[in-house]
Amino acid sequence: MIKSKQTKIGDIIIVLICLLLIFICLVPMLNVLARSLSSSNYLIRNEVILWPKGWNVDAYKTVLSNAKYVHSLWYTALLTVGCTILSLTMTVICSYPLTYDQLKGG
Amino acid sequence: MEGSALRSAKAASAATATKAKKSGGFSFSTYMRRYGTLYLLLVLPIVFFIVFRYTPMAYILMAFKKNNIIKPPWQVDWAKNNGFEWFIKAFKDQQFIRALGNTIKLNLLDLVCGFPAPIIMALLLNELAFKRFKKVTQTILYLPHFLSWIIISGLALRLLADNDGLVNILYKQMKGDPNAVLPFLSKTNWWVGSYIALGIWKEAGWGTIIYLAALTGISPELYEAAAVDGAGRFRRMWHVTLPGLRPTIIVLLIMRLGSILGSEFDRPLALSNKLVTNASTVISIYVYQKGIQGGQYSLTTAVGLFQSVVGVIFLLGANSLAKRFGERGIM
């Protein structure tokens, strides 16, 4: 397809806007990830932005060794799976009969 | 959307069914033999709806009776003023009026700013020429939907806090003045802006899924015809894409308007702090403070009933408005 110059400029602008949106969506999460993996002296001085400084996995060790947190994680996973199965089953068995127009009261 | 294919199939089968029906219809046993299993399938969801949705409606009576949750409401005395005591009390309460105003303000702003955002994003993604970049962008954009509001409030604190937030640290370095601050979460008007912006950040990506699905239903011949007629990118968007999205937009707008007075609980509670309670107290927080913490169950049931009634009025109004525009409403 032969594109005019205007269309090509429009394409580039759209790609730039999409990159900006991706940046906005990802930066908070990457920042938190970097902070969780940094050592505390850099954190206090607020120097960690996108890349962890002073590799430190102590936070993860603390969380994963505490039985309460692990139990909560396990319970969350169980709840999610159970609820998804239950609500999906309910939705399907409720909606299939409703697709029949001849069904009285449907 | 697959809904439109399903609807046309249903219309065709309904047409043949009405032609085949005798004047009295089928006999009961034939009807049951044919459709009995379908009714059997429906039993479980109907029981669920009756138990969890319709039976609790009996307790709406609490709004008109004296405050007593130990006895069921039909055994309690009627409240003063023919049962409307709690409604009068609620509307005289300054806190409730402020909560109502906050709810309406935040919901309207959410509607005005947050409703067009997925549409614009879907139009933008539709214009991307590179397929794989489009898929990657879509996936990344709807990631924030899966975070809960509690987590997002933590993220917001990390980014927007007055002294420790990333944005303010960079701002202080840029200005060279350690007292310069962008008060995203501490001043009332800025807080409202952050509230709306975080809502858009969370939900816009997820909302684009529905619009992108609806966009695939627009026939490419319309685009080609518009291009042949000399329509540029924006003209095509205005004359082909947006009218193609019109049914989806109207249905989603109706559903959104039905909850104009409703308020989610964890969003304002997680994002608010002691400095902005004037703007952050919405009806759900008021109900929580007065009802569960303060024990005034009848008052808050009255408030909830008021919310639901207004919501239903808005829903019916928006539905009839949509029907007048020629679209099919949701009921």
Residue B22 has pLDDT above 50, yes or no: no
**B200 shares contact with chain A (CB less than 8 Å):** no
Helix (H, G, I), strand (E, B) or coil at B93: coil
- Answer whether B179's CB lies under 8 Å from B94's CB: no
Integer Cα distance of A49 and A30 in angstroms: 9
Residue B10 has pLDDT above 80, yes or no: no
ipTM score assigned to the predicted complex? 0.79
More confident residue, A22 or B11: A22
Give contacts of B 74-113 with A, CB under 8 A: none
How confident is the model over B210-251, as pLDDT tens digits? 899 999 888 889 989 998 988 888 888 888 999 889 888 988
Integer Cα distance of B277 and B289 in angstroms: 13
The C-alpha of B43 sits at a distance from chain A's nearest C-alpha, in angstroms, of 9
Question: Residue B285, Cβ neighbours under 10 Å: how many?
Answer: 19
The C-alpha of A32 sits at a distance from chain B's nearest C-alpha, in angstroms, of 7
**A92 shares contact with chain B (CB less than 8 Å):** no
**A12 shares contact with chain B (CB less than 8 Å):** no
**B169 shares contact with chain A (CB less than 8 Å):** yes
Cβ burial B23-49 (10 Å sphere, 16+ → b, else e): eeeeeeeeeeeebeebbebbeebeeee
The C-alpha of B295 sits at a distance from chain A's nearest C-alpha, in angstroms, of 30
Residue B272 has pLDDT above 80, yes or no: yes
- Please report which confidence band the pLDDT of residue B11 belongs to, taking 50, 70 and 90 as the band edges: low
Predicted confidence at residue B261, as pLDDT, reads 84
Asked whether the beta carbons of residue B124 and residue A18 sit closer than 8 angstroms, the reply is yes
**A35 shares contact with chain B (CB less than 8 Å):** yes
Asked whether the beta carbons of residue A28 and residue B205 sit closer than 8 angstroms, the reply is no
Predicted confidence at residue B256, as pLDDT, reads 85
B-chain residues within 8 Å CB-CB of A88? none
Predicted confidence at residue B23, as pLDDT, reads 38
Residue B12 has pLDDT above 60, yes or no: no
- Closest B-chain CA to A10: B233
**B273 shares contact with chain A (CB less than 8 Å):** no
A-chain residues within 8 Å CB-CB of B31? 104
How much of chain B exceeds pLDDT 90, in percent? 22
Q: Of the candidates B134, B147, B245, which has an alpha carbon nearest to the alpha carbon of residue B203?
A: B147
Residue A55 bridge partners (DSSP): A38
Q: Of the candidates B106, B296, B177, B119, which has an alpha carbon nearest to the alpha carbon of residue B169?
A: B177
Asked whether the beta carbons of residue A22 and residue B127 sit closer than 8 angstroms, the reply is no
Alpha helix segments (H runs only) across B115-165:
116-126, 131-141, 149-160
Integer Cα distance of B105 and B195 in angstroms: 12
First vs last Cα of chain B: how many Å apart? 19
Calculate Rg over the CA atoms of chain A.
25
**A7 shares contact with chain B (CB less than 8 Å):** yes
A-chain residues within 8 Å CB-CB of B164? 46
Arithmetic mean of pLDDT, B294-308: 87
Task: Give me the amino acid identity at B223.
Answer: Y
Task: Give me the amino acid identity at B280.
Answer: S
Question: Residue B199, Cβ neighbours under 10 Å: how many?
Answer: 21
| CB pairs < 8 Å spanning A and B | 81
A-chain residues within 8 Å CB-CB of B168? none
Question: Residue B50, Cβ neighbours under 10 Å: how many?
Answer: 10
List, for chain A, all residue ranges whose pLDDT scores fall below the cut of 70.
Answer: 1, 105-106
How confident is the model over B134-188, as pLDDT tens digits? 899 999 998 999 999 999 998 898 888 888 888 888 888 888 888 888 888 888 8
Asked whether the beta carbons of residue A97 and residue B158 sit closer than 8 angstroms, the reply is no
Cα dihedral B66/B72/B77/B79 (nearest 10): 30
User: What is the maximum alpha-carbon separation in chain A?
Assistant: 71
**A101 shares contact with chain B (CB less than 8 Å):** yes
pTM of the model: 0.80
Mean pLDDT of all residues in chain B? 84
Cβ burial A57-87 (10 Å sphere, 16+ → b, else e): eeeeeeeeeeeeeeeeeeeeeeeeeeeeeee
Asked whether the beta carbons of residue B166 and residue A21 sit closer than 8 angstroms, the reply is no
Integer Cα distance of A92 and A83 in angstroms: 14
The C-alpha of B312 sits at a distance from chain A's nearest C-alpha, in angstroms, of 22
The C-alpha of A28 sits at a distance from chain B's nearest C-alpha, in angstroms, of 6
**B120 shares contact with chain A (CB less than 8 Å):** no
Residue B34 has pLDDT above 60, yes or no: yes
